[in-house]
Amino acid sequence: MIQYLKNIWSGLSSTFTGMRITSGHLFVKKVTIQYPDQRFPIPSNARNRLVLTPERCTGCNLCVVACPVNCILLETVRVVPDDPHQELYENGQPRKMWITRYEMDFAKCCFCGLCQAACPSDAINHTTDFEYSAYDRADLYYKYQTLTPEQAAEKERLLAEFKAKDKPAVAKKTEKAADHPVTAAPDKAATQTLTDKEPAPEA
């Protein structure tokens, strides 16, 4: 009988202890939020989604070299002087390179920020946007170039034409350089490296 009463007391006391702890939490400040209706502020220097601003990108390739996982693909075509479509960078300088391809495989990106740090034009930047999950891996492959494939092919054709037109002038320059006493190809013997030379006789 005594054991029976003890069990009842133990059940009641543990129920009251639980109720006391639960009701105590009704009056403390909440630490959870109702995402996505409510959001925590994200610091402005957060390294989330990368975005390219094509109007600033000069096609210098530094971001590609800096990327440790090779997730950036860049292709450029030089702007020729007789291109009817000239363009200015955001800073007002004339564009020197067309960005015919700028693609990023976000599934590979490790958000290290090295591309942003390497970019001299502030063209590639991390943003605070972190909601870009996708069901299909292909949706994480971003294409940032502004030229269509047809426009890119046209730019390549213009450059090829320009080079072909410029060929005689380049050949002439090379010929002149070859005749010049300073720039002419040096005598092979004179440029022989130390390793090519006979070893010095031993004393």
Among candidate residues 147, 140, 64, the one with its CA nearest the CA of residue 100: 147
- Nearer to ligand SF4 by C-beta: 127 or 151? 127
Q: How near is the Cβ of 60 to ligand SF4 at its closest, in Å?
A: 4
Among candidate residues 100, 101, 115, the one with its CA nearest the CA of residue 70: 115
Which of 72, 77, 79, 158 is close enough to bind ligand SF4 by CB under 6 A?
72
Q: What share of the chain is helix, strand, coil (3-state, %, to 5)?
A: 35, 15, 50
152 binds ligand SF4 (CB under 6 A): no
Tokens of 29: 């400040």
- Nearer to ligand SF4 by C-beta: 33 or 69? 69
3 state DSSP class of 104? strand
Instruction: State how far the Cα of 84 lies from the Cα of 81, in Å rounded to an integer.
Output: 8
Q: Are 129 and 49 in contact (CB under 8 A)?
A: yes
Interface stretch with ligand SF4, choices 29-37, 64-72, 134-142, 148-156 (CB under 6 A): 64-72
63 binds ligand SF4 (CB under 6 A): yes
- Nearer to ligand SF4 by C-beta: 24 or 43? 43
Q: How near is the Cβ of 43 to ligand SF4 at its closest, in Å?
A: 17
Name the site residues for ligand SF4 (rule: CB under 6 A): 50, 52, 57-63, 66-67, 69, 71-72, 74, 109-115, 118-119, 121, 123-124
